[in-house]
Structure 1
Amino acid sequence: MGPSAPTDWLTIEHFRAPIEVNLIGLINVTLHLLPLVKMARGRLVNISSTGGRLAVWGGGYCPSKFGVEGFNDSLRRDMKAFGVKVSCIEPGLFKTGLSNRKKIIQERETIWKQLPPAIRKQYGEGYIQKDAAKKEKLTQIFQNTDLSLAVKCMEHALTSIHPHSRYTAGWDAKVLWIPLSNMPTAIQDFILLRNKTELADPTAG
Protein backbone atom coordinates (compact mmCIF):
# COMPACT_ATOMS: atom_id res chain seq x y z
CA MET A 1 0.00 0.00 0.00
CA GLY A 2 2.78 2.42 0.85
CA PRO A 3 2.37 5.35 3.24
CA SER A 4 -1.06 6.97 3.36
CA ALA A 5 -0.40 10.64 4.05
CA PRO A 6 -0.94 14.14 2.64
CA THR A 7 0.86 14.52 -0.69
CA ASP A 8 3.13 17.33 0.49
CA TRP A 9 4.58 15.00 3.15
CA LEU A 10 5.78 12.47 0.59
CA THR A 11 8.77 11.88 -1.68
CA ILE A 12 8.85 10.11 -5.03
CA GLU A 13 10.11 6.96 -3.29
CA HIS A 14 6.91 6.78 -1.22
CA PHE A 15 5.00 6.57 -4.52
CA ARG A 16 7.41 4.23 -6.30
CA ALA A 17 6.92 1.01 -4.27
CA PRO A 18 3.10 0.67 -4.50
CA ILE A 19 3.14 1.64 -8.19
CA GLU A 20 5.91 -0.89 -8.94
CA VAL A 21 4.04 -3.70 -7.17
CA ASN A 22 0.36 -2.93 -7.85
CA LEU A 23 0.67 -1.63 -11.42
CA ILE A 24 4.02 -2.45 -13.06
CA GLY A 25 4.09 -5.91 -11.47
CA LEU A 26 0.54 -6.65 -12.61
CA ILE A 27 1.31 -5.50 -16.17
CA ASN A 28 4.54 -7.50 -16.25
CA VAL A 29 2.85 -10.76 -15.18
CA THR A 30 -0.01 -10.18 -17.65
CA LEU A 31 2.33 -9.59 -20.59
CA HIS A 32 4.28 -12.76 -19.86
CA LEU A 33 1.12 -14.90 -19.68
CA LEU A 34 -0.85 -13.19 -22.45
CA PRO A 35 0.29 -15.45 -25.33
CA LEU A 36 -0.89 -18.56 -23.43
CA VAL A 37 -4.17 -16.95 -22.41
CA LYS A 38 -4.87 -15.96 -26.03
CA MET A 39 -4.14 -19.49 -27.25
CA ALA A 40 -6.56 -20.91 -24.67
CA ARG A 41 -9.17 -18.18 -25.22
CA GLY A 42 -8.96 -17.84 -21.45
CA ARG A 43 -9.73 -15.16 -18.92
CA LEU A 44 -7.87 -12.41 -17.14
CA VAL A 45 -9.09 -11.19 -13.76
CA ASN A 46 -7.28 -8.24 -12.19
CA ILE A 47 -7.81 -6.87 -8.69
CA SER A 48 -8.15 -3.10 -8.54
CA SER A 49 -9.91 -1.24 -5.72
CA THR A 50 -12.51 1.42 -5.12
CA GLY A 51 -9.33 3.47 -4.62
CA GLY A 52 -8.90 3.11 -8.38
CA ARG A 53 -12.18 4.91 -8.94
CA LEU A 54 -12.00 7.53 -6.19
CA ALA A 55 -8.82 8.90 -4.58
CA VAL A 56 -9.79 9.10 -0.92
CA TRP A 57 -6.27 9.58 0.50
CA GLY A 58 -2.81 10.67 -0.63
CA GLY A 59 0.07 8.35 -1.47
CA GLY A 60 0.95 5.86 -4.17
CA TYR A 61 -1.87 3.36 -3.59
CA CYS A 62 -4.67 5.22 -5.41
CA PRO A 63 -2.52 6.23 -8.43
CA SER A 64 -1.42 2.59 -8.75
CA LYS A 65 -5.03 1.38 -8.74
CA PHE A 66 -6.17 4.10 -11.17
CA GLY A 67 -3.43 2.73 -13.44
CA VAL A 68 -4.80 -0.80 -13.05
CA GLU A 69 -8.24 0.45 -14.13
CA GLY A 70 -6.78 2.07 -17.27
CA PHE A 71 -4.67 -0.97 -18.15
CA ASN A 72 -7.63 -3.29 -17.58
CA ASP A 73 -9.91 -1.22 -19.85
CA SER A 74 -7.45 -1.18 -22.76
CA LEU A 75 -6.61 -4.86 -22.23
CA ARG A 76 -10.30 -5.83 -22.28
CA ARG A 77 -10.86 -4.08 -25.62
CA ASP A 78 -7.63 -5.42 -27.15
CA MET A 79 -8.44 -9.02 -26.19
CA LYS A 80 -12.10 -9.05 -27.24
CA ALA A 81 -11.29 -10.12 -30.82
CA PHE A 82 -9.35 -13.12 -29.45
CA GLY A 83 -12.23 -14.36 -27.30
CA VAL A 84 -10.39 -13.51 -24.08
CA LYS A 85 -12.65 -12.14 -21.35
CA VAL A 86 -11.14 -9.54 -19.02
CA SER A 87 -12.64 -8.57 -15.66
CA CYS A 88 -11.73 -6.10 -12.95
CA ILE A 89 -12.65 -6.54 -9.28
CA GLU A 90 -13.05 -3.39 -7.17
CA PRO A 91 -13.17 -4.26 -3.45
CA GLY A 92 -14.07 -1.67 -0.86
CA LEU A 93 -12.41 -1.50 2.55
CA PHE A 94 -11.84 -4.96 4.02
CA LYS A 95 -10.24 -5.98 7.29
CA THR A 96 -6.86 -7.26 6.12
CA GLY A 97 -3.21 -6.51 6.78
CA LEU A 98 -3.50 -3.71 4.23
CA SER A 99 -5.86 -1.80 6.55
CA ASN A 100 -3.72 -2.22 9.68
CA ARG A 101 -4.28 1.16 11.32
CA LYS A 102 -1.36 0.77 13.74
CA LYS A 103 1.10 0.25 10.88
CA ILE A 104 -0.38 3.13 8.88
CA ILE A 105 -0.11 5.51 11.86
CA GLN A 106 3.49 4.43 12.56
CA GLU A 107 4.44 5.14 8.94
CA ARG A 108 2.83 8.57 9.16
CA GLU A 109 4.59 9.40 12.42
CA THR A 110 7.96 8.46 10.91
CA ILE A 111 7.34 10.75 7.94
CA TRP A 112 6.00 13.52 10.21
CA LYS A 113 9.24 13.61 12.23
CA GLN A 114 11.24 14.16 9.03
CA LEU A 115 9.11 17.03 7.72
CA PRO A 116 10.43 20.61 7.63
CA PRO A 117 9.25 22.70 10.60
CA ALA A 118 7.24 24.96 8.26
CA ILE A 119 5.04 22.08 7.10
CA ARG A 120 4.54 20.77 10.65
CA LYS A 121 3.47 24.28 11.65
CA GLN A 122 0.89 24.39 8.85
CA TYR A 123 -0.70 21.14 10.02
CA GLY A 124 -0.26 21.68 13.77
CA GLU A 125 1.51 19.47 16.31
CA GLY A 126 -1.69 17.62 17.25
CA TYR A 127 -2.65 16.82 13.66
CA ILE A 128 -1.42 13.21 13.64
CA GLN A 129 -3.43 12.23 16.73
CA LYS A 130 -6.63 14.02 15.66
CA ASP A 131 -6.46 12.63 12.13
CA ALA A 132 -5.77 9.08 13.38
CA ALA A 133 -8.79 9.21 15.69
CA LYS A 134 -11.05 10.43 12.87
CA LYS A 135 -9.83 7.77 10.43
CA GLU A 136 -10.19 5.05 13.06
CA LYS A 137 -13.84 6.00 13.48
CA LEU A 138 -14.44 5.94 9.72
CA THR A 139 -12.67 2.58 9.39
CA GLN A 140 -14.92 1.03 12.02
CA ILE A 141 -17.99 2.29 10.16
CA PHE A 142 -17.05 1.23 6.63
CA GLN A 143 -14.79 -1.81 7.03
CA ASN A 144 -16.04 -5.17 5.70
CA THR A 145 -15.07 -8.31 7.61
CA ASP A 146 -16.47 -10.98 5.26
CA LEU A 147 -13.70 -11.67 2.75
CA SER A 148 -15.92 -14.14 0.89
CA LEU A 149 -17.61 -11.15 -0.77
CA ALA A 150 -14.46 -10.56 -2.81
CA VAL A 151 -13.83 -14.27 -3.33
CA LYS A 152 -17.33 -14.75 -4.80
CA CYS A 153 -16.60 -12.01 -7.33
CA MET A 154 -13.40 -13.83 -8.33
CA GLU A 155 -15.27 -17.11 -8.64
CA HIS A 156 -17.95 -15.60 -10.87
CA ALA A 157 -15.38 -13.86 -13.06
CA LEU A 158 -13.49 -17.13 -13.57
CA THR A 159 -16.32 -19.64 -13.97
CA SER A 160 -19.50 -17.97 -15.24
CA ILE A 161 -20.52 -18.11 -18.89
CA HIS A 162 -20.93 -14.34 -19.03
CA PRO A 163 -18.48 -12.67 -16.60
CA HIS A 164 -18.91 -8.99 -15.82
CA SER A 165 -16.37 -6.40 -16.91
CA ARG A 166 -16.38 -5.00 -13.38
CA TYR A 167 -17.24 -6.41 -9.96
CA THR A 168 -17.83 -4.42 -6.80
CA ALA A 169 -17.16 -6.16 -3.47
CA GLY A 170 -18.27 -4.80 -0.09
CA TRP A 171 -21.31 -2.82 1.00
CA ASP A 172 -19.26 0.38 1.36
CA ALA A 173 -18.18 0.09 -2.28
CA LYS A 174 -21.73 -0.44 -3.48
CA VAL A 175 -23.48 2.29 -1.49
CA LEU A 176 -20.74 4.93 -1.14
CA TRP A 177 -17.45 4.79 -3.06
CA ILE A 178 -18.59 3.66 -6.52
CA PRO A 179 -21.73 5.88 -6.60
CA LEU A 180 -19.65 8.81 -5.32
CA SER A 181 -17.02 8.17 -8.03
CA ASN A 182 -19.71 8.77 -10.68
CA MET A 183 -20.84 12.09 -9.21
CA PRO A 184 -19.55 15.54 -10.24
CA THR A 185 -16.16 16.49 -8.81
CA ALA A 186 -17.65 19.31 -6.74
CA ILE A 187 -19.90 16.84 -4.90
CA GLN A 188 -17.02 14.39 -4.39
CA ASP A 189 -14.83 17.13 -2.92
CA PHE A 190 -17.61 18.46 -0.69
CA ILE A 191 -18.27 15.03 0.84
CA LEU A 192 -14.65 13.94 1.19
CA LEU A 193 -13.39 17.27 2.54
CA ARG A 194 -16.01 17.20 5.29
CA ASN A 195 -14.03 14.33 6.81
CA LYS A 196 -10.65 16.06 6.58
CA THR A 197 -8.88 17.01 9.79
CA GLU A 198 -8.58 20.78 10.18
CA LEU A 199 -5.14 22.38 9.76
CA ALA A 200 -3.62 24.65 12.38
CA ASP A 201 -2.48 27.32 9.90
CA PRO A 202 -2.50 26.44 6.18
CA THR A 203 -0.95 29.83 5.30
CA ALA A 204 2.08 29.42 7.58
CA GLY A 205 5.49 28.72 6.11
Structure 2
Amino acid sequence: MCAFLLTGCDSGFGRLLALNLDKLGVHVFAACLLDKSIQELTEQCSSRLVAIKLDVTKSNELQKAVELVKKILGTRSLWGLVNNAGVATPNGPFEWLTKKDYQQMFDVNLLGTIDTTLHFYPLIRKGGGGRIVNIASQLGRYAPSAAPYVVSKFGVEGFSEGLSKEASQFNVSVHTIEPGYFKTNILDKQKESINTKWKNLETSVQNEYGDEFRQQYLDVIKQFEKDSSENVQWVVDALAHALTARYPKDRYVVGYDALFVYIPMAYLPSTIQVLLLNILGKLTGIKIPIAACVRNRK
Protein backbone atom coordinates (compact mmCIF):
# COMPACT_ATOMS: atom_id res chain seq x y z
CA MET A 1 0.00 0.00 0.00
CA CYS A 2 1.36 3.45 -0.95
CA ALA A 3 2.06 5.90 1.87
CA PHE A 4 1.93 9.69 1.63
CA LEU A 5 2.85 12.49 4.02
CA LEU A 6 1.05 15.82 3.71
CA THR A 7 1.79 19.02 5.60
CA GLY A 8 -0.68 21.83 6.31
CA CYS A 9 -3.73 19.59 6.81
CA ASP A 10 -5.52 21.89 9.26
CA SER A 11 -7.63 23.42 6.49
CA GLY A 12 -7.86 24.19 2.78
CA PHE A 13 -6.15 22.09 0.13
CA GLY A 14 -4.20 19.94 2.59
CA ARG A 15 -7.23 18.89 4.58
CA LEU A 16 -9.29 18.07 1.48
CA LEU A 17 -6.42 16.09 -0.03
CA ALA A 18 -6.03 14.07 3.19
CA LEU A 19 -9.75 13.22 3.14
CA ASN A 20 -9.68 12.29 -0.55
CA LEU A 21 -6.60 10.08 -0.29
CA ASP A 22 -8.04 8.29 2.74
CA LYS A 23 -11.14 7.44 0.68
CA LEU A 24 -8.87 5.99 -2.01
CA GLY A 25 -7.59 3.48 0.53
CA VAL A 26 -3.98 4.61 0.82
CA HIS A 27 -1.93 5.23 3.95
CA VAL A 28 -1.85 8.94 4.83
CA PHE A 29 0.24 10.84 7.36
CA ALA A 30 -1.59 14.14 7.80
CA ALA A 31 0.55 16.76 9.52
CA CYS A 32 -1.36 19.48 11.36
CA LEU A 33 -0.37 22.47 13.45
CA LEU A 34 -3.38 22.36 15.78
CA ASP A 35 -4.54 19.62 18.16
CA LYS A 36 -8.13 20.35 17.17
CA SER A 37 -7.37 19.50 13.54
CA ILE A 38 -5.74 16.22 14.55
CA GLN A 39 -8.81 15.20 16.52
CA GLU A 40 -11.20 16.13 13.69
CA LEU A 41 -9.26 14.21 11.03
CA THR A 42 -8.90 11.18 13.28
CA GLU A 43 -12.66 11.11 13.85
CA GLN A 44 -13.56 11.64 10.19
CA CYS A 45 -11.12 9.21 8.58
CA SER A 46 -10.24 5.54 8.67
CA SER A 47 -7.39 4.02 10.66
CA ARG A 48 -5.24 4.30 7.52
CA LEU A 49 -4.87 8.01 8.21
CA VAL A 50 -2.49 8.99 10.98
CA ALA A 51 -2.79 12.64 12.00
CA ILE A 52 0.40 14.03 13.54
CA LYS A 53 1.28 17.35 15.13
CA LEU A 54 3.94 19.20 13.18
CA ASP A 55 5.30 22.72 12.91
CA VAL A 56 7.44 22.74 9.76
CA THR A 57 9.56 25.58 11.13
CA LYS A 58 10.89 23.34 13.93
CA SER A 59 13.52 20.77 12.97
CA ASN A 60 13.09 18.84 16.23
CA GLU A 61 9.40 18.26 15.45
CA LEU A 62 10.29 17.19 11.92
CA GLN A 63 12.77 14.64 13.30
CA LYS A 64 10.14 13.24 15.67
CA ALA A 65 7.72 12.98 12.73
CA VAL A 66 10.31 11.06 10.72
CA GLU A 67 10.85 8.60 13.57
CA LEU A 68 7.10 8.06 13.92
CA VAL A 69 6.64 7.49 10.20
CA LYS A 70 9.58 5.06 10.12
CA LYS A 71 8.14 3.13 13.05
CA ILE A 72 4.75 2.78 11.39
CA LEU A 73 6.06 1.98 7.91
CA GLY A 74 8.66 -0.53 9.05
CA THR A 75 10.61 -1.66 5.99
CA ARG A 76 8.34 0.18 3.58
CA SER A 77 9.29 3.50 2.00
CA LEU A 78 7.32 6.73 1.70
CA TRP A 79 5.97 7.15 -1.82
CA GLY A 80 4.86 10.77 -1.73
CA LEU A 81 5.50 14.02 0.15
CA VAL A 82 3.26 17.07 -0.27
CA ASN A 83 4.68 20.35 1.05
CA ASN A 84 1.42 22.22 1.49
CA ALA A 85 1.97 24.12 4.77
CA GLY A 86 2.07 27.85 4.10
CA VAL A 87 1.07 31.32 5.23
CA ALA A 88 0.16 34.46 3.26
CA THR A 89 0.78 37.16 5.87
CA PRO A 90 2.32 39.59 6.77
CA ASN A 91 1.36 41.42 3.61
CA GLY A 92 1.57 44.97 2.27
CA PRO A 93 3.55 47.38 0.10
CA PHE A 94 7.31 46.89 0.35
CA GLU A 95 7.95 50.05 2.39
CA TRP A 96 5.41 48.98 5.02
CA LEU A 97 7.25 45.72 5.71
CA THR A 98 10.28 44.71 7.76
CA LYS A 99 13.04 42.14 7.45
CA LYS A 100 11.27 40.18 10.19
CA ASP A 101 8.14 39.97 8.01
CA TYR A 102 10.16 38.34 5.25
CA GLN A 103 11.88 35.98 7.66
CA GLN A 104 8.53 34.93 9.13
CA MET A 105 7.16 34.12 5.68
CA PHE A 106 10.31 32.33 4.50
CA ASP A 107 10.45 30.19 7.65
CA VAL A 108 7.16 28.53 6.72
CA ASN A 109 6.74 28.78 2.94
CA LEU A 110 10.31 28.26 1.78
CA LEU A 111 12.57 27.01 4.57
CA GLY A 112 9.74 24.88 5.95
CA THR A 113 9.37 23.23 2.55
CA ILE A 114 13.12 22.69 2.26
CA ASP A 115 13.58 21.34 5.79
CA THR A 116 10.59 19.01 5.53
CA THR A 117 11.98 17.64 2.27
CA LEU A 118 15.44 17.22 3.80
CA HIS A 119 14.01 15.15 6.63
CA PHE A 120 11.78 12.87 4.53
CA TYR A 121 13.88 12.65 1.36
CA PRO A 122 15.79 9.52 2.51
CA LEU A 123 12.49 7.72 3.19
CA ILE A 124 11.32 8.50 -0.35
CA ARG A 125 14.45 7.69 -2.34
CA LYS A 126 15.17 4.42 -0.54
CA GLY A 127 12.15 2.88 -2.25
CA GLY A 128 13.67 3.42 -5.69
CA GLY A 129 11.05 5.95 -6.71
CA GLY A 130 8.54 8.44 -5.40
CA ARG A 131 7.05 11.91 -5.70
CA ILE A 132 7.67 15.26 -4.03
CA VAL A 133 4.91 17.80 -4.63
CA ASN A 134 5.38 21.42 -3.63
CA ILE A 135 2.61 24.00 -3.43
CA ALA A 136 3.84 27.10 -5.22
CA SER A 137 1.49 29.69 -6.72
CA GLN A 138 0.79 31.73 -9.83
CA LEU A 139 2.61 34.36 -7.75
CA GLY A 140 5.69 32.15 -7.90
CA ARG A 141 5.87 32.85 -11.63
CA TYR A 142 4.30 36.32 -11.85
CA ALA A 143 5.31 39.04 -9.37
CA PRO A 144 2.78 41.87 -8.94
CA SER A 145 4.80 43.20 -6.00
CA ALA A 146 7.77 42.42 -3.76
CA ALA A 147 5.53 41.06 -0.99
CA PRO A 148 7.03 38.29 1.19
CA TYR A 149 4.53 35.75 -0.14
CA VAL A 150 5.58 36.42 -3.73
CA VAL A 151 9.29 36.16 -2.95
CA SER A 152 8.80 32.97 -0.92
CA LYS A 153 6.86 31.28 -3.72
CA PHE A 154 9.50 32.25 -6.28
CA GLY A 155 11.91 30.47 -3.93
CA VAL A 156 9.72 27.36 -3.87
CA GLU A 157 9.76 27.33 -7.68
CA GLY A 158 13.55 27.55 -7.75
CA PHE A 159 13.95 24.86 -5.11
CA SER A 160 11.59 22.52 -6.97
CA GLU A 161 13.29 23.14 -10.29
CA GLY A 162 16.75 22.43 -8.90
CA LEU A 163 15.78 19.43 -6.78
CA SER A 164 14.08 17.77 -9.72
CA LYS A 165 17.46 17.40 -11.45
CA GLU A 166 19.19 15.97 -8.40
CA ALA A 167 16.34 13.62 -7.48
CA SER A 168 15.98 12.12 -10.94
CA GLN A 169 18.93 9.76 -10.40
CA PHE A 170 16.91 8.10 -7.61
CA ASN A 171 13.81 7.91 -9.82
CA VAL A 172 12.16 10.53 -7.57
CA SER A 173 10.21 13.22 -9.41
CA VAL A 174 9.42 16.74 -8.19
CA HIS A 175 6.23 18.58 -9.11
CA THR A 176 4.88 22.07 -8.45
CA ILE A 177 1.26 23.11 -8.10
CA GLU A 178 0.58 26.70 -9.16
CA PRO A 179 -2.94 27.68 -8.11
CA GLY A 180 -4.61 30.95 -8.98
CA TYR A 181 -7.01 32.61 -6.54
CA PHE A 182 -9.38 30.19 -4.83
CA LYS A 183 -11.90 30.85 -2.07
CA THR A 184 -9.93 30.09 1.08
CA ASN A 185 -9.35 32.30 4.12
CA ILE A 186 -6.03 33.63 2.79
CA LEU A 187 -7.37 36.91 1.41
CA ASP A 188 -9.26 37.69 4.64
CA LYS A 189 -6.00 37.42 6.54
CA GLN A 190 -4.28 39.65 3.99
CA LYS A 191 -6.87 42.40 4.53
CA GLU A 192 -6.30 42.21 8.28
CA SER A 193 -2.56 42.39 7.72
CA ILE A 194 -2.85 45.52 5.54
CA ASN A 195 -4.82 47.35 8.23
CA THR A 196 -2.41 46.25 10.97
CA LYS A 197 0.61 47.38 8.97
CA TRP A 198 -1.05 50.73 8.25
CA LYS A 199 -1.69 51.39 11.95
CA ASN A 200 1.94 50.65 12.79
CA LEU A 201 3.40 53.01 10.17
CA GLU A 202 5.06 56.25 11.18
CA THR A 203 2.82 59.26 10.60
CA SER A 204 5.19 60.65 7.98
CA VAL A 205 4.90 57.46 5.91
CA GLN A 206 1.10 57.41 6.31
CA ASN A 207 0.98 60.98 4.98
CA GLU A 208 3.10 60.10 1.96
CA TYR A 209 0.89 57.17 1.02
CA GLY A 210 -2.46 58.51 2.20
CA ASP A 211 -5.47 56.60 3.48
CA GLU A 212 -6.91 56.51 -0.05
CA PHE A 213 -3.96 54.32 -1.06
CA ARG A 214 -4.73 51.93 1.81
CA GLN A 215 -8.36 51.72 0.74
CA GLN A 216 -7.44 51.15 -2.90
CA TYR A 217 -5.06 48.40 -1.85
CA LEU A 218 -7.88 46.74 0.10
CA ASP A 219 -10.22 47.16 -2.88
CA VAL A 220 -7.81 45.21 -5.07
CA ILE A 221 -7.75 42.35 -2.55
CA LYS A 222 -11.54 42.44 -2.32
CA GLN A 223 -11.77 42.17 -6.11
CA PHE A 224 -9.45 39.14 -6.11
CA GLU A 225 -11.64 37.69 -3.36
CA LYS A 226 -14.77 38.27 -5.44
CA ASP A 227 -13.23 36.71 -8.55
CA SER A 228 -11.71 33.72 -6.73
CA SER A 229 -12.84 30.30 -7.87
CA GLU A 230 -15.01 28.27 -5.53
CA ASN A 231 -13.88 24.99 -7.09
CA VAL A 232 -11.02 24.18 -4.69
CA GLN A 233 -11.38 20.55 -5.76
CA TRP A 234 -9.44 21.48 -8.91
CA VAL A 235 -6.34 22.02 -6.80
CA VAL A 236 -6.93 18.83 -4.82
CA ASP A 237 -7.33 16.86 -8.06
CA ALA A 238 -4.07 18.30 -9.37
CA LEU A 239 -2.31 17.27 -6.16
CA ALA A 240 -3.74 13.76 -6.36
CA HIS A 241 -2.73 13.46 -10.02
CA ALA A 242 0.84 14.55 -9.24
CA LEU A 243 1.03 11.87 -6.54
CA THR A 244 -0.67 8.94 -8.27
CA ALA A 245 -0.72 9.36 -12.06
CA ARG A 246 1.52 7.20 -14.19
CA TYR A 247 2.62 10.26 -16.15
CA PRO A 248 2.40 13.29 -13.85
CA LYS A 249 3.12 16.81 -15.06
CA ASP A 250 6.13 18.79 -13.89
CA ARG A 251 3.91 21.83 -13.25
CA TYR A 252 0.18 22.10 -12.65
CA VAL A 253 -1.29 25.50 -13.44
CA VAL A 254 -4.70 25.49 -11.73
CA GLY A 255 -7.40 28.11 -12.24
CA TYR A 256 -8.51 30.23 -15.18
CA ASP A 257 -6.79 33.35 -13.82
CA ALA A 258 -3.46 31.56 -13.52
CA LEU A 259 -3.82 29.79 -16.86
CA PHE A 260 -5.01 32.65 -19.04
CA VAL A 261 -3.88 35.85 -17.31
CA TYR A 262 -1.13 35.92 -14.73
CA ILE A 263 1.31 33.19 -15.77
CA PRO A 264 1.18 34.23 -19.46
CA MET A 265 1.90 37.79 -18.26
CA ALA A 266 5.03 36.50 -16.52
CA TYR A 267 6.66 36.07 -19.93
CA LEU A 268 6.22 39.77 -20.77
CA PRO A 269 8.53 42.67 -19.86
CA SER A 270 7.63 44.44 -16.60
CA THR A 271 6.69 47.66 -18.42
CA ILE A 272 4.12 45.76 -20.51
CA GLN A 273 2.82 44.02 -17.38
CA VAL A 274 2.19 47.40 -15.72
CA LEU A 275 0.41 48.66 -18.83
CA LEU A 276 -1.84 45.57 -18.92
CA LEU A 277 -2.59 45.88 -15.21
CA ASN A 278 -3.73 49.47 -15.74
CA ILE A 279 -5.96 48.36 -18.61
CA LEU A 280 -7.43 45.57 -16.47
CA GLY A 281 -7.98 48.08 -13.69
CA LYS A 282 -9.99 50.36 -15.99
CA LEU A 283 -12.04 47.47 -17.33
CA THR A 284 -12.93 46.20 -13.84
CA GLY A 285 -13.30 49.62 -12.24
CA ILE A 286 -10.59 48.84 -9.70
CA LYS A 287 -8.09 51.64 -9.28
CA ILE A 288 -4.41 50.72 -9.14
CA PRO A 289 -3.14 52.03 -5.76
CA ILE A 290 -1.13 55.25 -6.18
CA ALA A 291 0.61 56.89 -3.24
CA ALA A 292 -0.57 60.41 -2.32
CA CYS A 293 2.92 61.86 -2.77
CA VAL A 294 2.91 60.56 -6.37
CA ARG A 295 -0.60 61.82 -7.14
CA ASN A 296 0.32 65.25 -5.79
CA ARG A 297 3.27 65.52 -8.19
CA LYS A 298 1.04 64.99 -11.22
Alignment partner, residue 169 of structure 2: 81
Look up the SS of the partner of 1:86 in the other structure: strand
Q: Match for 2:226 among 140, 146, 154?
A: 140
Whole-Å separation in 2 of the counterparts to 1:80 and 1:183: 31
CA offsets 1:84-141 (integer angstroms, 9 cap, x no match)? 11111101111111122xx322322221122122211211133222332243124313
Whole-Å separation in 2 of the counterparts to 1:17 and 1:96: 21
Look up the SS of the partner of 1:85 in the other structure: strand
CA RMSD for the aligned pairs?
1.8
Identity of aligned residues (%): 35
Report the CA distance between 1:144 and its aligned residue: 1.0
Report the CA distance between 1:148 and its aligned residue: 0.8
Whole-Å separation in 2 of the counterparts to 1:77 and 1:161: 19
- The code of the aligned residue for 1:192 comes to L
Alignment partner, residue 292 of structure 2: 200
Alignment partner, residue 106 of structure 1: 192
Distance 1:12-1:203 versus aligned 2 partners, 3 A rule = farther
Equivalent residues of 1:122, 1:203 under 8 A apart: no
Structure of larger gyration radius: 2
Work out whether 1:62 is the aligned partner of 2:150.
yes
Whole-Å separation in 1 of the counterparts to 2:183 and 2:202: 34
Alignment partner, residue 50 of structure 1: 138
- The code of the aligned residue for 1:8 comes to E
With the length of structure 1 as denominator, give the TM-score of the two structures.
0.90
Equivalent residues of 1:91, 1:169 under 8 A apart: yes
- Greater percentage in strand: 2
Report the CA distance between 1:69 and its aligned residue: 0.3
- Structure 2 unaligned segments of length 5 or more: list them: 1-87, 282-287
- The code of the aligned residue for 1:156 comes to H
Q: Which moved more, 1:106-115 or 1:162-171?
A: 106-115
With the length of structure 2 as denominator, give the TM-score of the two structures.
0.63
Q: Match for 2:214 among 114, 120, 128?
A: 128
Report the CA distance between 1:203 and its aligned residue: 8.7
Alignment partner, residue 101 of structure 2: 14
Work out whether 1:159 is the aligned partner of 2:251.
no
Look up the SS of the partner of 1:126 in the other structure: helix
CA offsets 1:146-178 (integer angstroms, 9 cap, x no match)? 011101111111111111110011111111111
- Structure 1 unaligned segments of length 5 or more: list them: none
Distance 1:115-1:157 versus aligned 2 partners, 3 A rule = same
Equivalent residues of 2:91, 2:97 under 8 A apart: no
Distance 1:187-1:129 versus aligned 2 partners, 3 A rule = same
